[in-house]
Amino acid sequence: MGERSEQVITLSLPSSMQHVYLLDVVVSEILKEMDFGEDIQEQINLAVIEAGTNAIKHGNKEDLGKKATFQFILAEDRLTIVIEDEGEGFARQTVADPLDPENLLKSSGRGLFLMEACMDSVTYEAKGTIIKMVKYKETPDP
């Protein structure tokens, strides 16, 4: 359902943190076009900023010659966002749990957790250089 009306918007950025704001306005405008509620919009925005920041910083190590690419796949019932970097990837399971009391006072390590908390599904592909996130308009059928 909705496959036929899928629209794909692609944004590709040089790996500089200065462009995170551009990413933010693109996501905000796409979410305005779709019919997500305001709270959901903020969650998606946050997840994309986290994933974009990771792609630029950890993946591409802010090498301006490397690109972070964002695909927004707009369907009637959901938004799928695919983030790809040109880095070496990482293993999700090796990342420490930021909610573990011994990690609570660390100043980093909450990005993946927040992404996963904000989206309906987050999957890691191609060794972690591709992250696919989905948010449904309403709770998906069981």
Partner 1 sequence: MQVNLRNKGSITILDIAGQVIGTDALALKRIIDEQVQVADNHTEHGEDLNLILNLERVQMMDSSGLGVLVAAHTSVRRNNGQVVLLNLGGNVRSLIVMAKLMTIFDCYDSEAEAIAGIMKS
Ligand X SMILES: Nc1ncnc2c1ncn2[C@@H]1O[C@H](COP(=O)(O)OP(=O)(O)O)[C@@H](O)[C@H]1O
Binding residues (CB under 8 A) for a copy of itself: these are 7-14, 16, 18-19, 21-22, 25-26, 28-30, 33, 64
Q: Contacts for 121-129 with beta carbons within 8 Å, 24 or more apart?
A: 122/47, 124/92, 126/84, 126/89, 127/88, 127/89, 127/90, 127/91, 128/89, 128/90, 128/91, 128/92, 129/59, 129/84, 129/85, 129/86, 129/87, 129/88, 129/89
Among 6, 12, 17, 77, binds partner 1 (CB under 8 A): 17
Among 22, 25, 95, 117, binds ligand X (CB under 6 A): 95
Task: Indicate whether 20 belongs to the interface with partner 1 (CB under 8 A).
Answer: yes
Choices 70-78, 79-87, 112-120, 132-140 (CB under 8 A): range interacting with partner 1: 112-120
Contacting partner 1 within 23-42 (CB under 8 A):
24, 39, 42
